[in-house]
Amino acid sequence: ADLLFQTAKDARLEYDCVCGVPYTALPLATIICSENQIPMLIRRKEAKDYGTKRLVEGTINPGETCLIFEDVVTSGSSVLETAEVLQKAGLKVTDAVVLLDREQGGKARLEECGIRLHSVCTLSSVLEILQQQGEVAVEMVEKVKKFIQGNVFEPVAQNGPAPVKRLCKELSFSARAELPGVHPIAARLFMLMEKKQTNLCLSADVTSSKELLQLAAILGPSICILKTHIDILNDFTQEVVKELRMLADQHEFLIFEDRKFADIGNTVKHQYEGGVFRIASWSDVVNAHVVPGSGVVKGLKEVGLPLQRGCLLVAEMSSQGSLATGDYTKAAVQMAEDNSDFVFGFISGSRVSNKLEFLHLTPGVQLQTGGDNLGQKYLSPEEVITRKGSDIIIVGRGILSASDRLQEAEKYRKAAWESYVSRLGVGA
């Protein structure tokens, strides 16, 4: 907090009040204001449905200048969102002070919107100091610098306060596997996709154990993930998942139990670890809805983290009229970022996060686009991978309904892989 305040002082900034970007910078702004007798405003991420119902709490005098404080700036989106709310309340926002500028285009984007960014330090300066002190190896410094250079957010002129995020460069799966902080499951998946040249996930929605194991044995070489709904098997036994686990290891694919956990933390913990299915003992990956809040992830993490499992969050759905849009999707992304030691990606219709450590898996894919009479919408592999920026297509009925399932799976594998290769050529 002292460093932030001193940076503002050194820049000779003139302002009437202060606002910390919610929620990490809120305690920093609180300390600055209490120690220096500066009026403070609190921006809510969402208005309450009782009380004042305001998005900005505090004494607002229209026409005054508000200084924004933030902990880290990458793309600048959080600062821009806060600035928009303050400006709608009648305040001026001309400057923002940040503890760390990651130098990924945020400063340029803010300047384009009329906000000057002042930073206590930049990521490159921190790396330089750590390297000089012998705390970080030269190789790691170069790797981080390469990542930053390849992942800069371009300023995009538009009317809204938060420009669309675009990556200047697309990284290959193998390159993403080596990113600092990538989840072990994600790294393993990136590498096996590159090795097998497949970004196809088979949705094995069958009710017979025999058919499930046949699919795994025959289509295993063509897929990177086999997605199960284990609770629809009519003849489930632990012997079935034991054999499925052996096939996964033999053909190098991950098992993803599409459980869509959506209860309080203590309940999902037991659902994941115990019961009839004992999912955590055999499934590499599970997924969860974000409706219950962060407790659902914390409960799953208690079980999955020691077992080196991973989790996907449902950020969007492919069914018509889905409510998983807008703020819901943003909340899913934030929850993933807050729990990146366990969450490594999303179930979504498009790329919802530009952090390349995260994977995006998209259901509702068929070679022939359209839909069914129950509201499912289908997109082509090219649309999903090339245009929407997803990484893996999830295909069920398109393969299961074919007379030659292996031949059909290969069609999907090739279509998705060629779209990925094309994306590498054109960028994101």
Instruction: State the catalytic residue, choosing from 45, 92, 146, 260.
Output: 260
Task: Give the closest residue to 204 by CA, choosing from 213, 194, 195.
Answer: 213
End-to-end CA distance of the chain: give it in Å, rounded. 37
Residue type, 338: D
Cα–Cα separations (whole angstroms), residue 254 to 145, 201, 250, 387, 425: 31, 9, 11, 26, 27
Residue 338 among the catalytic residues: no
CA–CA distance, 237 with 243 (Å, rounded to integer): 10
What is the chain's alpha carbon radius of gyration, rounded to the nearest angstrom? 24
Residue 260 among the catalytic residues: yes
Angle among Cα 242, 245, 246 to the nearest 5 degrees reads 90
Sequence-ordered list of residues with C-beta below 8 angstroms from that of 139, at least 6 positions apart, any chain? none
The string of DSSP letters for 254-276 reads: EEEEEEEE-S-HHHHHHHHHSTT
Report yes or no: 162 and 77 within 8 Å, Cβ to Cβ: yes
With 0-12 / 13-18 / 19 or more C-beta atoms within 10 angstroms meaning exposed / middle / buried, residue 398 is buried
Q: Which residues pair with 73 in a beta bridge?
A: 101
Task: Give the closest residue to 339 by CA, choosing from 326, 361, 358.
Answer: 358
- What angle, rounded to 10 degrees, do the helices at 26-36 and 2-10 form? 70
Report yes or no: 166 and 153 within 8 Å, Cβ to Cβ: yes
Chain mean position to CA 274 = 28
Instruction: State the catalytic residue, choosing from 45, 92, 263, 298.
Output: 263
Task: Give the closest residue to 280 by CA, choosing from 260, 257, 262, 253.
Answer: 257
Phi (first) and psi of residue 118, to 5 degrees: -120, 125
Report yes or no: 131 and 150 within 8 Å, Cβ to Cβ: no
Chain mean position to CA 52 = 33
* Token couple for 168: 């200047």
The string of DSSP letters for 179-208 reads: STT--HHHHHHHHHHHHHT--EEEEE--S-
User: Which sequence positions are flagged as catalytic?
Assistant: 260, 263
